[in-house]
Structure 1
Amino acid sequence: MSVDRSDRRPPAMSDVAKLAGVSHQTVSRVLNDHPNVKPVTRQRVQAAIAELGYRRNEAARALVTRRTGAIGVITENSPLHGPTMTLIAIENAARSQGTYVSVATVTRWEVATVRATLEHFLDQGVDGVVVIASHDEAVRAVEDYSRRLPVVMVGPGRVSGGIHAVAVDQWSGAGLAVGHLLDLGHRDVVHVSGPREWLDARARERGWRDAVLRAGLEPRDPLPGDWTASAGFGVGRALLAQRDVRPLPTAVFTANDQLALGLLHAFADAGVRVPQEVSVVGYDDVEGSEHFFPPLTTVRPDWAALGARCLERMTAAMEGEPAAAVLVGARLVPRASSGPARR
């Protein structure tokens, strides 16, 4: 059966219904993935859609539903692993439910910059905004906007200003890393921290400290770093320079895998064997960490769950549900860079 469309107009839902031999309502149900459609009917409608090249009129749909099917995402203009993987996870989760993502990057988490970006998304008419919030300034910048549009923040582990929050449980993830080292017999587990202004860095440091204290041990002061391999290399060189005064720790937990990479480089240059003399554990499980030398024991956040929870919270925010904070887990990935404590 075919549909005469000699008028050259774009195919309409009525054309799909006529070609498939179903009602207009049935086509609508298929387009909206309604469960009450027989599989054979769904296939017939989908075949008609493909044959006609039908595309849904999103502008008309928005007038009816008061939703555009698009959300904004604000993230950092940075190649760092955490923000990048979070953005990918949100995009994947949005695509799976037919939602479109519009991305804006900021070079600095300044209140004026973030608010200007939020105003831009308001002008676009997005259904809501996800803010991948690395810094405290980002949290402060969006607190006033939850009354104007639905906002979900990724990073804070708590609700702030009525804004829905989703985060990787960095505290527990760090606890997994330290607990692994403690189980191997290590009693001097040093931490190389990330930048203090980063939410994730502070949470991972707290997780390390609390795990050490729970074991009845007194932690050394954390060694300050950033997120780079160069900083890890510098920390390693400093530890080596002081070993005549204070022995090397038996284990080091770094705030991310790049810090661990630099630390491994410094130890290799000095002939310090990992893990025979010092065990090293990172965080993030970046691409290629299994090929560090030695392969790096690390912690892998559940990125897919993070994206899914973000979209769930966005739906809740759009429907006016009370703000809530949701944490997603991480798991330890043991490899050759960690081993039993030296006796």
Structure 2
Amino acid sequence: MPRSPSTRSARRAVSMTDVAAHAQVSQKTVSRVVNGEPYVREEVRLRVQSAIKELDFRPNAAARSLVTRRTRRIGVVALGTAFHGPTSALAALESVARADGYSLSVHRTDSTDRDEIQSAVDTLLNEGAEGIVLSEPKQLEGPPLQIRADVAVLTLGARGLTDREDELVVGADEESGGHLATEHLLALGHQTVHHIAGPEAWVSSQLREQGWASALREQGAKFHEAVAGDWTPRSGFEAMTQLLKGDILPTAVFVANDQMAIGAISAIAGQGLTVPGDISMVGFDDIDVAEFQPTPLTTLRQEFSLAALRGMNALIQTIDGTVPENVRHLVPLSFVNRSTTAPPPRSGTTNPW
């Protein structure tokens, strides 16, 4: 007589002993296979793995951690934001961690308050985190953080955040990205490049602006003060509107992210001007919609997956007791040349304002 659904759901959970009996090996051998330990013949390992799959055995993580003294858990302190960069970095981290057999515990913070960050670290350590990732994209005021944690620490970004000599730092080379965008526009013949920056407190904004400014200095191009936005399309629209009110109409603009660039293009179109016919533009990030704008956006792509892979690999090496070769690593960006840049107009354009 078939068992009812309630009977099936209440059946005893499959144990490691059941797997051992099914695979005709010792329980210790099953434990070694489950925990990825060496000294198991390949034929035996495959037999145990087949038994695990057939019986739908699910190792108890808590029990396994008692045996191995490993939780395989990484703690992440992340700024609570929905912006593209931080969320993409977090998604990439989670994907890499999962592929390496680690889980992530994420503690979101709403500010760069030092006590709040330390409190988040303490919470993650109490949850058994074997390593800590700091993904705080805003600039901290004052001296570096003094993180109290007897575990490896990775800062996901271009600048370190802590005073630890063993701090791992992996991030995108955003300053070089700003430099590359500006160089591209100057090489097309533009006399100078204006800049719509992100919020001043964000490290990404600072680095991209530094790259822009250094490229102008190297080429001896005229410098105009950057106009700041807040990463949103509306702020890009408003910043571009401000630039359009100047005495001289800009012919080239480097915008610190794609969303502001999309808003800026809307402001340009509202004045009867075109991109790139009248004004060339380069964005930053290569968000999903950048390629599918009426005029596909030329931009810089951040390799979030590569940065996360290198950062997590370095962190896991450190957790396993191996010192990685490079404790600080910057990942190059990719220049995506689409349709929003061109040489400047042959004759000066009259400012429509």
Aligning the two structures, in what range does the TM-score lie when normalised by the shorter sequence? 0.7 to 0.9
Per-residue CA deviation, residues 23-77 of structure 1 (Å, 9 max, x unaligned), is 5565445434568877765543322101222122322332343321111111122
> Which residue does the alignment assign to 2:6?
none
Any residues of structure 2 matched to 1:30-69 within 5 Å, and which?
30-33=33-36, 42-69=45-72
Any residues of structure 2 matched to 1:125-274 within 5 Å, and which?
125-137=128-140, 142-145=145-148, 147-158=149-160, 160-162=162-164, 163-242=167-246, 245=247, 247-274=248-275
Any residues of structure 2 matched to 1:330-341 within 5 Å, and which?
330-341=333-344
2:126 is aligned with 1:123: yes
Query: What is the deviation of 1:206?
Result: 0.9
2:281 is aligned with 1:277: no
Per-residue CA deviation, residues 97-144 of structure 1 (Å, 9 max, x unaligned), is 110011121122212221221121122121122111111239968433
- Contact 2:255–2:261 (CA<8 Å) still a contact in 1? yes
CA distance in 1, matches of 2:345, 2:229: 26
2:110 is aligned with 1:107: yes
- Contact 2:253–2:282 (CA<8 Å) still a contact in 1? yes
- Contact 1:299–1:332 (CA<8 Å) still a contact in 2? yes
Match of 2:301, SS? strand
- Contact 2:252–2:279 (CA<8 Å) still a contact in 1? yes
Q: Structure 1 residues 62-71 or 22-31, which shifts more?
A: 22-31
CA distance in 2, matches of 1:46, 1:140: 51
> Which residue does the alignment assign to 1:15?
18
Match of 2:208, SS? helix
CA distance in 1, matches of 2:232, 2:250: 21
Amino acid at match of 1:154: L
Amino acid at match of 1:54: F
CA-based RMSD of the aligned residues comes to 2.5
Amino acid at match of 1:248: L
Match of 1:113, SS? helix
Amino acid at match of 2:150: R
- Contact 1:168–1:306 (CA<8 Å) still a contact in 2? yes
CA distance in 2, matches of 1:238, 1:258: 17
> Which residue does the alignment assign to 1:3?
none
CA distance in 1, matches of 2:34, 2:271: 63
Q: What is the number of equivalent residue pairs in this alignment?
A: 332
Change (3 A) 1:261 1:307: same
CA distance in 1, matches of 2:129, 2:332: 29
Query: What is the deviation of 1:273?
Result: 0.9
Match of 2:287, SS? coil
- Contact 2:145–2:162 (CA<8 Å) still a contact in 1? no
Q: Structure 1 residues 59-68 or 71-80, which shifts more?
A: 59-68
Change (3 A) 1:10 1:295: same
Match of 1:327, SS? strand
CA distance in 1, matches of 2:162, 2:111: 21
Per-residue CA deviation, residues 127-184 of structure 1 (Å, 9 max, x unaligned), is 1221111112399684332x43322111243474122211111012222222222232
CA distance in 2, matches of 1:98, 1:295: 39
CA distance in 2, matches of 1:130, 1:124: 14
Amino acid at match of 1:262: G
- Contact 2:118–2:147 (CA<8 Å) still a contact in 1? no
- TM-score normalized with structure 2 length: 0.85
Match of 2:75, SS? strand
- Contact 1:229–1:262 (CA<8 Å) still a contact in 2? yes
- TM-score normalized with structure 1 length: 0.88
- Contact 2:97–2:103 (CA<8 Å) still a contact in 1? yes
Alignment counterpart, residue 88 of structure 2, candidates 85, 88, 98: 85
% of aligned pairs identical? 37
Change (3 A) 1:139 1:17: farther
CA distance in 2, matches of 1:26, 1:255: 55
Q: Structure 1 residues 106-115 or 278-287, which shifts more?
A: 106-115
Query: What is the deviation of 1:257?
Result: 0.7
- Structure 2, gaps ≥5 residues long: 1-10, 347-353
> Which residue does the alignment assign to 1:288?
289
CA distance in 1, matches of 2:109, 2:180: 32
> Which residue does the alignment assign to 1:309?
310
